[in-house]
Amino acid sequence: MSRSKIVNLLKVATFLIFIGRAYQYIIYGAPFRALLWDEGLLQPIVEGFFNTSWNEYATSKKVDVCIENATLINGVFLAIAAFSALLINQKNKKYLKYFIYFGSFSLLILSALLMKDKFFHNAQFFEHAIQVVTPLVLLLVIDKKPDFLQISKVLKIIVAITFISHGLYALGYYPIPGNFVDMTILSLGISEDNAKIFLYVAGILDIILSILIFIPRVSKYALWYAFMWGTATALARITGYFNSDLIAMSLESSLYKTIYRIPHGLIPLVIYFIDFKFLPQKRNY
């Protein structure tokens, strides 16, 4: 396992995150309105500072178009960030890193907005850890002497945070989202009651593996499980929404969600390669 392979995997992971989200922002937008349309928060500002009635502001086509355009631009920059991730090397890093930072920051904002939009569930924010931090980790490895031990730790932490967050939803600590249950029912062909049991178990496992990946003796197995489960849940966005008669439609709506979630499986794989293929080599020198 060469260093460049690990770097490439991280590049691919970052690319997938950014390109999937770029597609989302450009085609479907982002939940900026969770903040910008919050009457409770912004009414004093809109009416006091901008001297416009809230209703006028909220139903203004101009404001709407502004938000749309800002989202579009954000999406374009995310696309640029995606390609930057593929192209980045030690030489161009000093320029391209700003796109990566921008992308990561965008996703941080997105995570905060999503949390606000969903009853301030903390997990809603933290489950995006892999997506927000992986690009920053990429920047870490584009270096003369990256510290892979450190990098592995960071990656483990973000994997644990992400999986615990999902696990809390799956086992019902937060109300199980309907689409989790539906994806399970439709991907596995089981009943709702069995799907909830399945998800409960999966949630428990998510939390367990988040601990086990830190324990050397068993981390290998935990990482493999995380790789498979992370990939499976990414693919579930397609299989759970599939309509065989309307393939194009199904893919168009779900493919991007799969794409930016593939790193949920890829990153555990990367950790595995670092811990069990790369670092042992290094020690052998």
Binding site for another protein (CB under 8 A): 27-29, 33, 37-40, 53-55, 57-59, 61, 64-65, 68, 71, 116, 119-120, 175, 177-179, 181-182, 185-186, 191-193, 195, 240-241, 243, 245-246, 249-250, 252-254
User: At which residue do the structure tokens 């890829």 appear?
Assistant: 266
The answer to whether the CB of 185 falls within 8 A of the CB of 202 is no
The answer to whether the CB of 54 falls within 8 A of the CB of 43 is yes
User: At which residue do the structure tokens 């779900």 appear?
Assistant: 254
In whole angstroms, what is the distance from residue 133 CA to residue 111 CA?
12
The answer to whether the CB of 273 falls within 8 A of the CB of 5 is yes
The answer to whether the CB of 20 falls within 8 A of the CB of 259 is yes
Which of 8, 53 has the CB closer to another protein? Answer: 53
Which of 75, 268 has the CB closer to another protein? Answer: 75
Which of 150, 243 has the CB closer to another protein? Answer: 243
Which of 177, 280 has the CB closer to another protein? Answer: 177
Q: Where are the alpha helices (DSSP H) in the chain?
A: 3-23, 33-36, 39-43, 54-58, 61-87, 93-117, 122-126, 129-141, 148-170, 178-188, 192-212, 216-239, 247-259, 263-273, 279-284
Which of 40, 216 has the CB closer to another protein? Answer: 40
CB of 1 to another protein, least distance (A): 38
In whole angstroms, what is the distance from residue 8 CA to residue 106 CA?
23
In whole angstroms, what is the distance from residue 8 CA to residue 285 CA?
23
Which of 65, 201 has the CB closer to another protein? Answer: 65
